[in-house]
Structure 1
């Protein structure tokens, strides 16, 4: 099975050490400087999470444009796309637990992809994300998924600098941060170009300050870079 086939079958890839190590200090500082309480966001955020407004930071923008990330996003979306949103998220001590959920495609399956870029080492001790591999495209006649069924979920673990890229229909969730150790990350969203008009309608609600007019093209198969990518 090729990397491309495996990506579409599983619905995600974990890019190990994709962020250059020398960027991490600056990214952590940008995250901490941008933290705002829930009440200061246009739409209140979860109280057991720390949220950071940092989409205008140049190093954050560079992470969103890493060629390895854009190659995977282009393969998942399959058409011209744009960077829609990026914000910082971190589960607080004793918080962060979510039920398995999908973020949901808009006009067709696969027209949106997300990425989680980790600024700190992550695992069960600090609320690392869990996923259900292959859950983004249920087979014909498959029964509705029971979101309380954790039997197929896998909790991720890894190092600062890793980036998880996934189809928005993949079942995923945050986990409880029992230790309170830092787990700063970026949540990055990419949309297919036909979604741009609806994206513009909600800029204010999502507190987006960055320019979203740049467009990215999916790479040809012989130019894809999947080095250091992990798909279980």
Structure 2
């Protein structure tokens, strides 16, 4: 196994140093962030789904790769990882200032099988075709379920590419990607603006990981959370996860149901027959409107 990248971080390290590294290089690795008991549970819960899920179709996802989503209900052991305090702090500091709340963009299990070629280099934020972004739209957390090695398809990543304003990478350029080697239970955290690719798997065994990504709450998410977790399923999730998948209003007035908070659909009594339209405004706007209303 090649040497671990210089960005290897311990979960004991201060978050401010991690965030500084993430913003400087576009990524950081947190070694052994997941408890071994959680790792064991995830392997057990994931395997039946990998066995029954057909391999991908298409050159981007890769014909020698298996992917599936809806992990909150398929693999419940992932739920505490999604709301891990360490990850929450990163999201709140990097995404939080630019939205009313950040949201769960996707959960996806990925297995790169033997003989899979390298994935095309890409930036995940290209889902939202907005040039010259003033701030980050997305944070990815790639949890290693297997050891990630140079041979079995460890993610390739171009340090500093998040500062290149969306320019496509030239494979013949002098800058080479770093190989994100890390032991099982670790997490690779990288920005949506960072150029990366799943590596080629020249080993005899597969490489398995879980991607959890978070985006600004006013963006359309990669995974349609309301189809992935309809009310009958979502009402059984913890409140924090219900919020993350969109069963709340994003101020001002985004994502409502009948001009009301969509969390009403999670009530055991079922879908209400009618509801009052209710404001969902940032406090400063509500205060201005209240003052104007009272002075009429």
TM > 0.5: yes
Instruction: Report if the CA contact (8 A) 1:103-1:168 is conserved.
Output: yes
Match of 1:111 in 2: 137
Indicate the structure (1 or 2) with the bigger Cα radius of gyration: 2
What displacement does 1:96 show?
A: 4.5
Partner of 1:82: 103
Unaligned runs of 5+ in 2: 1-15, 235-240, 246-296
Q: Deviations over 1:82-102 (max 9, x none)?
A: 212101001110005112211
Moved more, 13-22 or 180-189: 180-189
2:47 aligned partner: 32
Is 1:214 matched up with 2:240? no
Gaps in structure 1 of 5+ consecutive residues: 217-232
Match for 1:186 among 210, 219, 227?
Answer: 210
Matching residue of 1:126: 152
Contact 1:99 1:147 in 2 (8 A): no
Q: 1:215 to 1:90 in 2, by over 3 A?
A: closer
Q: Are 1:4 and 2:19 an aligned pair?
A: yes
SS in 1 for 2:140: strand
What SS does the aligned partner of 2:163 have?
coil
Contact 2:141 2:212 in 1 (8 A): yes
Find the partner of 1:47 among 44, 49, 63: 63
> Residue 22 of structure 1 is aligned with which of 13, 24, 37?
37
Give the conservation status (yes or no) of the 8 Å contact 1:55–1:85: no
Aligned to 1:67: 85
Match of 1:199 among 221, 225, 244: 221
CA distance in 1, matches of 2:200, 2:227: 26
2:146 & 2:174 partners in 1: Cα distance?
A: 25
- Cα deviation code 1:137-184 (max 9, x no counterpart): 227xxx944342372310011100011111111010011111132321
Distance 1:51 1:2 in 2: 33
Secondary structure in 1 matching 2:161: coil
Farther off after superposition, 61-70 or 104-113 = 104-113
Instruction: After TM superposition, give the deviation of residue 7 of structure 1 in Å.
Output: 2.1
The answer to which structure has the higher helix fraction is: 2
Structure 2 distance, partners of 1:213, 1:68, is 19
State the Cα distance separating 1:215 from its structure 2 match.
4.3
Query: Quick one: distance in 1 between partners of 2:138 and 2:202?
Result: 31
* Separation (CA, whole Å) in 2 of partners of 1:186 and 1:3: 21
User: In the alignment, which of 167, 170, 174 is matched to residue 191 of structure 2?
Assistant: 167
| SS at structure 2 position matched to 1:177 | coil
Give CA deviations for 1:42-81 in whole Å, capped at 9, x if unaligned: xx95321022343312211222221112222333324321
